Amino acid sequence: MKALVIYNSQTGFTQKYAEWITQGLKEKGNDTECLPLKKAAKKQLLNYDCIVFGSWCMAGSLVKIEWFAQKLPALKDKKTAIFACGATPVQAPEVKQFMESKLSSGVFAQTKAFYCQGGLNYNKMKLGSRMAMKALAKILSNKSGATAQEKEMAARISRNYDITEKQYADCIVEYLTR
């Protein structure tokens, strides 16, 4: 199988998953390329049997998903997958809601969507993103009557952390190679 793993990463977590997926596909004997979106946009996707698109979550959306959504109708005979990489732990209820509302209907119904928990790296964030996250952390930590979930979120997003786990990439590889 000839595969292409495309990623859009701001702080490195999505890229890490893309590289794990690529490694896993190669280990199973597949001819696999891994490219950032800017380089992959120049590729002829129809030349691949399998195309994976991964990007990072921001404010309830998947950054640059529109690019892949435009390509999907032409890829209906290809094996495709999408992975969303976010700072929220996979077991959080909002992850399931996001995946069901954003990545399971319409044009996305033809592909399989996965969520990969990532983390936060303020040192690699663009200024606007960094300021928004710090403001959210401050609002949540100063909120009177904050729920336990809000307090936990405020504590989590107030610092850098990495909760990536290769097992999420392995699930994508398993799906693609069955």
Q: Which two tokens stand for residue 132?
A: 């928004």
Q: pLDDT at position 137, please?
A: 87
According to DSSP, the β-strands at 79-86 and 61-62 are unpaired
pLDDT of residue 151: 85
Tens digit of each residue's pLDDT, the chain (178 residues): 999 999 999 999 999 999 999 999 999 999 999 999 999 999 999 999 999 999 999 888 899 999 999 999 999 999 999 999 999 889 888 888 888 888 878 888 889 999 999 999 999 999 988 898 889 888 888 899 888 888 888 888 889 999 999 999 999 999 999 9
DSSP states of 97-134 as a string? HHHHHHSSSGGGGGSEEEEEE-EE-TTTS-HHHHHHHH
Nearest to 105 by CA among 89, 82, 78, 75: 82
What integer pLDDT is reported at residue 100 of this predicted model?
A: 87
